[in-house]
Amino acid sequence: MFFDLIIKNANLALTGNTVNSAELNCLYGASVGIKDGIIEAIWEADKAQEASSSKVIDASGQWLLPGFLDCHTHLVFAGNRADEFARRARGESYQQIAASGGGILSTVRATREASEDELFEVSLVRAKALVSGGVTHLEIKSGYGLDWDNEAKMLRVAQRIGTALNIEVSCTYLGAHALPPEYSTNRAAYVDIICNNHLPKLAQLKLASAVDMFCEGIGFNASECERIICAAQALGLKIKAHAEQLSRSGGAALIAQYQGLSADHIEYLSLPDIKAMAKNNVVGVLLPGAFYTLNDTQKPPIDALRNAGVTLAVSTDLNPGSSPIGSLLLVANMAVNQFQLTIEEALWGITLHAAKALGIEDSRGSIAVGKRADVCLWPIETPEQLIVEIGLHAPTKIWSAGREINL
């Protein structure tokens, strides 16, 4: 077979489709053949000599890893909330800041005022920061518009980012992020608009493939979220939720009941929640950046999740208020140091397990024949360094579907 690209003399990690979280599934001195954006062959040692290609890269012993997937971000927004960081340092809580008109609604005001082009320019900078750290697939949520025109504007910007950077973007609608000011006295009417207006338009225009919701005391209650879930699933949209972040909200149980993709944050999970997630194959997405930024003390019940067999992903939760962090490897380090994941679990958490949180694990997230050729070459001695040595390593090359990314 003739290949578009062969990467030879590379050490591979995170290979195959079967995960033992204690192992990184490494191959040493291997080669990878890529054709039409897909990994078509993996050879051990010098077995690639018989293959031909229009381009051959000699990795010279560098490590080839799958591109990382950041499976939970809010990176499309205008403005900043640096003042809230200072307010929390003086003792105000996230909930108190939100109640005073700050928090999500502060970003809603700035995002509504920005034009689509302005929003694209500021958001592209954040996306580039993530891609420069080895991310080849971004999930990007709306949620700072809270009306149709501005939610759609955000999702179009997310799609434009994928095109501009030559990466994949999974778009998620998050209209149920906060109650917009114009509906502050009529919650039911806003939920009606989401279910009867926004979601049908999303499905028709293909602006998003999934629907998220903030199931929390300062967001939307379980009954409201269940209405949104049922409306979304009736339209063929996937579901996920911000769940059990600040309190026992019922979001994780709902996502398990309706067999959604993931429950994210999950600090306040109960044992029944965990059992339901395991039974229904719901991924738990850990967001240690928010835990760190908000100075939280309630950690996700990692041992119980692990013992139940719940798949655990890790993501930045990049957003202007509770996790203004643009490094997936940094939050993977936090997942180890703060939540006691193993290094191996953290690396799987930003690759194959993150792909599962997006419902694309069959074609993304590991180095395996038949998978999309999203890979990065790293000048390191061992993959564990990427989690341990923060800010000290950058990929020498990044490929998305076999095409080199040049930022």
137 appears as a binding residue in the annotation: no
Residues 6+ apart with CB under 8 A from 187: 179, 224
Chain centre to alpha carbon of residue 234: 24
321 appears as a binding residue in the annotation: yes
353 appears as a binding residue in the annotation: no
Give the β-pairing of 262-265 and 238-243.
parallel
112 appears as a binding residue in the annotation: no
Residue 87 falls in which region: left (phi positive, over 0), alpha (psi -120 to 50) or beta: alpha
Cα–Cα distances (Å) from 82 to 22, 87, 262, 321, in that order, read 39, 9, 29, 8
Q: Rounded to whole angstroms, how far apart are CA atoms 26 and 382?
A: 10
Lateral strand order in the sheet of 238-243: 68-70, 135-141, 168-176, 210-215, 238-243, 262-265, 283-286, 312-314
Q: Rounded to whole angstroms, how far apart are CA atoms 335 and 214?
A: 22
170 appears as a binding residue in the annotation: no
**Backbone φ and ψ of 376, nearest 5°:** -135, 145
374 appears as a binding residue in the annotation: no
Q: Which two tokens stand for residue 225?
A: 């979220």
242 appears as a binding residue in the annotation: yes
Helix 104-113 × helix 148-165 angle, to 10°: 80
101 appears as a binding residue in the annotation: no
Binding-site positions for 4-imidazolone-5-propanoate = 81, 144, 177, 245, 322
Sequence ranges of the binding site? 72, 74, 81, 144, 177, 242, 245, 317, 319, 321-322
Annotated binding-site residues for Fe(3+) read 72, 74, 242, 317
Which residues belong to the annotated binding site for Zn(2+)?
Answer: 72, 74, 242, 317
Q: Annotated binding site for N-formimidoyl-L-glutamate: which residue ranges? A: 144, 319, 321
